[in-house]
Each structure stands twice: as C-alpha cells, then as structure tokens.
Amino acid sequence: MPYLTKPVIILLCLVVTGECRKHGHRERRWTGTVESEKHGTSLTKKPPDVTKSRKMKTEHLLRVDDHDFTMRPAFGGPAIPVGVDVQVESLDSISEVDMDFTMTLYLRHYWKDERLSFTSSTNKSMTFDGRLVKKIWVPDVFFVHSKRSFIHDTTTDNIMLRVFPDGHVLYSLRVTVTAACNMDFSRFPLDSQTCSLELESYAYTDEDLMLYWKSGDESLSTDDRISLSQFLIQKFHTTSRLAFYSSTGWYNRLYINFTLRRHIFFFLLQTYFPATLMVMLSWVSFWIDRRAVPARVSLGITTVLTMSTIITGVNASMPRVSYIKAVDIYLWVSFVFVFLSVLEYAAVNYLSTVQDRRERKMRERARSQNLVHKVTDYILVPPHWRAFWWTGFDKVSGLSTIQRPPPTLLCLSDANNLPVPTCMGGGRLGCSSGFRRLGRIATFHITTATALPDLLPYTPINRPAQ
C-alpha cells in the first residue's frame, strides 16, 4: 500500500497541471495578444479585426442606435442612386384566362449609406440576415401591376444584407411575383406575347431616389434551364423610363421585358386535327343512301355536337375577349361545313319526297291512260245516257260553238239533254278534277276505264280512231 500511494499522487499532480495549462490557453485566445517562446524567439500575432470580436455587438459596430434610419441617406441633398440587378430563377406559369404570369427572381439593390460605414483592417464586408433589415433604411421598391407577391421564408426569410466598410450596401431577396400582362389573342394560337415586370419606388420620387440598372442590359441574367410547356422564351431585355402620377410626381421605373412565342403543335393535335376530321366525317353522309334516314341523321348530329364540344373546350381556356381570334375563324368555318351537311340531307329528303309524290302521280296517270288507250277500245256508259266524242266543231242546242277538245274528251248527257249529275264528274267514273259544265252538256277528262257497278246495263261506246 505505501508503494501505490506515491504513483497515485504523482498522477493526480500531472492531471491538475494539464488542466491548468488548457484553461490558460483558452483565456488567452480572446485577449488579443499571445506570446510564446520557441527556441528563445518571441512571436506576436496581428491585432484581430474588431468586427470579429464577440464582445462587439452589431448595433454598436454599425452605430445603428446613433442615427435616424427612418430618413434616406443624404437627406436634404441630391437623390440617392440605387442600382438594381435581377437574376430570374424561373418563369413558373403563363395564364391566358387571367392574363398574368408568375416569376421567381433574385432582386438585388446597391446603394451607399455612410451611416453604416465602419473601421475594418482585414474584413471586406459583413453579411447579415433579414433581422437587421428592420433596423436600417432600405429602398421601398415594389412591383407595378402585381397581383400577388411574397418573399420566400423557408427555412428562414430569404433576405441577405451585406455591408462594406465604406458604407456600400448590398440588399438581396428572393421573391415570387404574379403580375399582369396585357395579351393580344387576335392571332391565337399563332401569337407572340410581350410581357414586362415593372419596378418602382413607392414613396420616393426621382428627386429623392434614382433607380437605375446597375450594369445596363447585363443587369438581367436568366437561368438557362428556364422553359415553358406552351411557349418559347425568345428574349429578355431591360428598359427604364419615368412614370408620372398627377398627385405625387415623377418616379423612376425599371422594366424587365420578355417575349414569348407560342408552340403550335399542341393545338394542332387538340384542336385543328379533330375539327378537320369532323368535317371530313360529315362528308361521308353524302355517300350514304338518302333513304337510310337513321344513319344519315345520327352521323350529322354527332358531328355537330362534337364540333360544339371542341369550340367550348377552346373557349374555356381563353379569356372572354370581344374580338375574333384566328382559331375561332377556323372552328366556326368547320362548324358551318358540318351544319350545312345536315341541312343538305334535310333538303335532299324534302325534294326527294316531292319528287316521289310527283312520280307516283305520273305513274298513276300513265297507268290510267294505258288503260284507256290500250286495255279497252270502248267506254261503258248507262244505256239511257248519250255519249259522243268531239271530233271537230259542233253545236249542241242552245250552245255556241265549242273549240275542238283532245280526242280523250268525252261528252255525256241524258236523253232529255239534262246536265249530268255532279257525282258523275267527281270520280265515280274515275274522272279527273277537270269536270266542267257547258250549258246542258257536262264535259270531263277520262283518266280510267272503270265502269260503275250500280249503273246497269252498260252500253259500249267505241273510241273514235286517232
């Protein structure tokens, strides 16, 4: 036991000595000067940058509490220049119905505020997040004609503030904005649209704040992977001009302009080809027998309803504009062709019915004439009637001269020269409606050789030679 006590005591002394040395080095890490001796030489490190000192707060370093940041820099002097550059991250959607577009971008502002200058020997700048933005002055830029906009906040507010020792400030934020775009659909779907995103100071006129593109056209950069399903992005460019408000004055306004050209292939597949096929399908009915009424009517109605569905589907994805679009002309011309094919069958059916009726009458008349001229050579009349054929000019007592009728004109009278009863001319002898009465003699045109079964006996009257 006495042999183990001495080594334990020595081990405890070594542990205590090591802990004391670590504690001493830890304290000297933040004191500013560390001296060490190596081979008899003394080395002294450079004084650290005060911006890296943990004992110095940001408010004390930038002297935020010493200035009134509710006023712009150089208040009362010339307008403060604020440079702007934009990097477009994505062009999310183009809505024809709402006439707007959605864009996500990095918006960066550059200006100089001498109130934020600080002394630094080695550090070029200090970077902060969005918490410091609420304590200093920043430009009040907003998006003109915007419908919705927001700053991304995942996982924290996407805001960056970088302050340089001479007072220059870089303020960057990631924004998604939905802005209006006036579109012209007169050539749809062969159209090209030009939209613009406009930036402007809300409170400061051009006498207080001068917005400008920091590097001209190079101030706008885009991601090469930006693409849209229905449009081809042709060109991005920047412009600027003054905007006037009658109540507040002139303001600097910056424009991000871009041109979009629509892809036509989608509309060829979804609109033009189906409409063309429906017109061609309606023409098939011209080769179907006109007597096949169910087939032709169902085909015509089906093509008309399909064209109506295509027109409704196209207009549902478009705004209700008051002018005619190019696609409307094509679809409505196709609809007229389909509708005319249905009207064509209605007209053909009506004319065919009229023609069939006329042909039926002609066949009946021809059949009657064949019976008179070919089947029989005589006419059967009651025995107490007198019948004679007109072969030339003649007179009947009390009547003037009558012109010569055709050979099929038969005149009948009774024995006392009384008028023939009307019923005899109405069809009981198979007469036409041409029954007429000349004095005491009734004349009518024979259309059939049918005799009257109730007038017996009959007397045959030979037909005169033609």
Closest residue by Cα to residue 105 from 222, 199, 213? 222
Residue 282 binned pLDDT confidence (cut-offs 50, 70, 90): very high
Do 226 and 271 belong to one domain?
no
Q: Which residue among 235, 262, 289 closes a domain?
A: 262
- On whether both 90 and 190 belong to a single domain, the answer is yes
Contacts of range 435-441, beta carbons closer than 8 Å, 24 or more positions apart: 438/399, 438/402, 439/396, 439/398, 439/399, 440/396, 440/397, 440/398, 440/399, 440/413, 441/396, 441/399, 441/411, 441/412, 441/413, 441/417
Give the CATH number, domain containing residue 120. Answer: 2.70.170.10
* pLDDT of 5: 65
pLDDT computed for residue 435 by the predictor: 36
- 283 and 239 in one domain? no
Residue 117 vs residue 195, higher pLDDT: 195
Distance (Å, whole) CA 192 – CA 326 = 13
CA angle 95, 202, 145 (to 5 degrees): 15
Q: Are 232 and 84 in a shared domain? A: yes
Is 440 inside any structural domain?
no
Tell me the per-residue pLDDT of 345-365, one tens digit each, with 9 for 90 and over: 999 889 988 988 998 888 888
Q: Averaged over 239-245, what is the pLDDT?
A: 94
Residue 326 and residue 203 share a domain: no
> pLDDT digits over 107-155, tens only?
999 999 988 888 877 667 888 888 888 888 999 999 999 999 999 998 8
The residue type found at 17 is: T
More confident residue, 401 or 244: 244
Prior bond to 464 cis, omega within 30? Answer: no
Q: Measure the CA angle with vertex 80, ends 205 and 178; round to 5°.
A: 60
- Higher pLDDT: 252 or 385? It is 252
Summarize pLDDT for 436-459 with one digit per residue, the tens.
333 333 333 333 333 333 333 434
Query: For position 418, what pLDDT does the model report?
Result: 42
Residues 123, 231 within the same domain: yes
Lowest mean pLDDT among 52-66, 227-241, 279-293: 52-66
For residue 59, is pLDDT > 50? yes
Indicate the residue among 368, 391, 410 that finishes a domain: 368
- Full-model pTM: 0.61
Q: Are residues 272 and 323 in the same domain?
A: yes
With pLDDT > 70 as the criterion, what percentage of the chain qualifies? 65
* Residue range 295-302: mean pLDDT, rounded: 91
Q: Which two tokens stand for residue 94?
A: 């183009």
pLDDT score of 142? 94
Judgement on whether residues 252 and 306 belong to the same structural domain of the protein: no
> Is the residue at 460 inside a domain?
no
For residues 456 and 258, the model is more confident at: 258
Q: Is residue 412 one of the residues assigned to a domain?
A: no
**Angstrom distances, CA of residue 49 to CA of 54, 89, 162, 170:** 11, 36, 17, 21
294 and 188 share one domain: no
User: Which two tokens mark 158?
Assistant: 């996407």
| Domain co-membership, 317 together with 186 | no
**β-bridge pairing 209-213 and 378-381:** unpaired
Listing DSSP states for 367-403 in one string gives HHHHIIIII-SEEEE-TTEEEEE--S-B--TT---BP
More confident residue, 20 or 149: 149
Name which of 36-45, 84-93, 162-171, 358-367 the model is least confident about: 36-45
Q: How many CB atoms lie within 10 A of CB 391?
A: 11
Dihedral angle over CA of 10, 14, 16, 20, nearest 10: 150
The verdict on residue 406 lying in a domain is no
Residue 3 lies in a domain: no
pLDDT of residue 399: 36
pLDDT value for 174: 96
Residue 136 gets which letter from DSSP?
A: S
Please count the structural domains in the chain: 2
Among the candidates 243, 262, 281, a domain finishes at 262
**Residue 449 lies inside a defined structural domain of this protein:** no
> How far from each other are the two terminal CA atoms of the chain, in whole angstroms?
171
151 and 242 in a single domain? The answer is yes
Mean pLDDT (whole number) for 239-257:
94
pLDDT score, position 47: 53
**Which tokens go with 181?**
């775009």
In three-state secondary structure terms, 11 is helix
User: Which pLDDT belongs to residue 48?
Assistant: 53
What confidence score (pLDDT) does residue 37 get? 40
Element (DSSP H or E) covering residue 365: helix 326-370
Q: Which two tokens stand for residue 305?
A: 């309803």
| Angle, vertex CA 455, rays to CA 453 and CA 456, nearest 5 | 90
C-alpha closest to that of 381 among 322, 458, 465, 447: 458
In a domain, 382, yes or no: no
Tokens of 460: 């045959």
Supply the range of the domain harboring residue 159. 80-262
Amino acid at 371: L
- Structural tokens at position 101: 């577009």
Residues 225 and 178 in one domain: yes
The pLDDT score that the predictor gives to residue 224 is 82
Domain at 295, CATH number: 1.20.58.390
- 299 — pLDDT class (breaks 50, 70, 90): very high
Whether 93 is covered by a domain: the verdict is: yes
Range from 21-30, 98-107, 322-331, 421-430 carrying the lowest mean pLDDT: 421-430
